[in-house]
Amino acid sequence: MLSIHLVSPYHGGSHKSWAEGWRQSSRHRVTLHTLPDRFWKWRMHGGAITLARRFLAADSQPELILATDMLDLTTFLALTRSQTAVIPTILYMHENQLTYPLPADGRTGPMRRQLGERDQHYAFINFASMLAANHVFFNSHYHLESFFTALPNFLKHFPEYNELNAIATLKKKSQVLPVGVNFQRLAMGKHTKQQNEAPLILWNQRWEYDKNPEAFFAALYAAAQAGHAFEVALCGQQYGKRPSIFDDALRQLGRRVIHVGHADLPTYRRLLWQADITLSTAHHEFFGISLLEAIYCQTFPLLPQRLSYPELIPAKFHEACLYADEAELAQKLSWALTHRAEIGEMAKGLATAVAHYSWQQTAPLYDTQMNKIWQKYRADTRAKADD
């Protein structure tokens, strides 16, 4: 059993559920060093300093350090080098600041101070942190591949000594390790769906621009105009003021909306097992915990045929669940709303197919990988000492 310190400067949402899920499921002894999930830019700047101070003040010294992509790992290691110089370090890429999509409106939201332009400094923190780590994990193949596709042009942006040769080094020490999901907290009785009078469509993603709520509501408006009966539950995490499209949708959908706002666990669990269909119209998804939670609860998914979604859905369900454009989404949503028995049967099969993302099955993968990295580091250290 290893002593592992997990450093998470933006500890909320999927980052928090991932860290705490593994800590609870791992056979290793995992200690968390965290900061609240707010002021993300300041977390990427100052979080390393605060967490380095706390790390040095901790009673125990780990055998392995696992940090998230929101940490400036180079600063953290520099400030803790008296202890960490002999400890292997792993970086887990939940997301990255190079390929995270920018909002169309640069005057509002998280990019307003640079008028919608990408601030290259945060992408460089990710790049330098990957160089400093002994090993790098991405949460999906899509995430890994899209990052390394974009990285050469990012480095060419700089005038000289742009370190393009480092890309091969990073690729060599990078691999995919999917997020584990705590499905157990969603279990309800005999795991049976609750039948609604009208089909229930669920939104359980963040209320932000990168999840493309405009296309989501456009699909609902088209279904309503076509005369389909349905209800809508709008849950998911909100950060600050919600996009105005939600207020417009509440007016247009009226009584069809049966829930609005962040749901506590009992309510969320009930809505998942009550829902017939879940939709994503996202511009961005490096993994997709909330969609997997819905699928586990036998909710039929309609998802874009891009991003990480083709990885999450077994190939035999692609034709039914994945759509290429908004026209195909409208067509498939219309079919799903009028074929409840068929989507219910497929949803049961999908629930079984995604169960391997549970922590019961992913935690042993994590534990094995941590052991391998630690043993390799020890072997390499001994070999250098012998030389």
Q: Say how far apart CA 92 and CA 297 lie, in whole Å.
A: 27
How high is the pLDDT of residue 387?
67
Contact 289, 21 (CB under 8 A): no
- Higher-confidence position of 240 and 256: 256
Residue closest to 150 by CA, chosen among 110, 111, 100, 103: 100
Residue closest to 292 by CA, chosen among 18, 67, 7, 9: 18
Q: Say how far apart CA 246 and CA 183 lie, in whole Å.
A: 28
Q: For 190-197, what is the mean pLDDT? A: 70
Tokens of 330: 């409208």
What is the per-residue burial (b if ≥16 Cβ within 10 Å, else e) of 341-367? eebeebbeebbebbeebbbeebbeebb
pLDDT in tens, 5-17: 999 999 988 899 9
| Best-predicted range by mean pLDDT (107-116, 174-183, 244-253) | 174-183
Contact 73, 89 (CB under 8 A): yes
pLDDT at residue 262 tops 90:
no
Listed in order, the ranges of the chain carrying CATH 3.40.50.2000 are 3-182+359-386, 183-357
Residue closest to 28 by CA, chosen among 2, 5, 59: 2
Q: What would you measure as the largest C-alpha separation in the chain, in angstroms?
A: 77
Paired residues of 279 in beta bridges: 302
Q: Please, which residues have CB within 8 angstroms of residue 19's CB and are 6 or more apart in sequence?
A: 6, 8, 11, 32, 34, 68
Count CB-CB contacts under 10 A for residue 376: 13
Evaluate whether the domain defined by 183-357 bears CATH number 3.40.50.2000: yes
Q: Which CATH architecture has domain 3-182+359-386?
A: 3-Layer(aba) Sandwich (3.40)
Q: Say how far apart CA 234 and CA 203 lie, in whole Å.
A: 5
**pTM to 2 decimals?**
0.91
Q: Say how far apart CA 382 and CA 374 lie, in whole Å.
A: 12
Q: How many helices (H) and strands (E) does the chain have?
A: 16, 12
**Ordered DSSP codes for 27-76:** SSEEEEEEEES--HHHHHHHHHHHHHHHHHHSS---SEEEEETTS-HHHH
Q: Please, which residues have CB within 8 angstroms of residue 328's CB and are 6 or more apart in sequence?
A: none
Q: At what angle do helices 40-57 and 120-132 cross, to 10 degrees?
A: 30
How high is the pLDDT of residue 305?
96
Q: Say how far apart CA 211 and CA 281 lie, in whole Å.
A: 6
Q: Say how far apart CA 45 and CA 58 lie, in whole Å.
A: 22
Percent of the chain at pLDDT > 70 equals 93
How high is the pLDDT of residue 59?
77
- When computed from its CA atoms, the radius of gyration of the chain, rounded to whole angstroms, is 22
pLDDT in tens, 64-107: 999 999 999 999 999 999 999 999 999 999 999 999 877 766 55
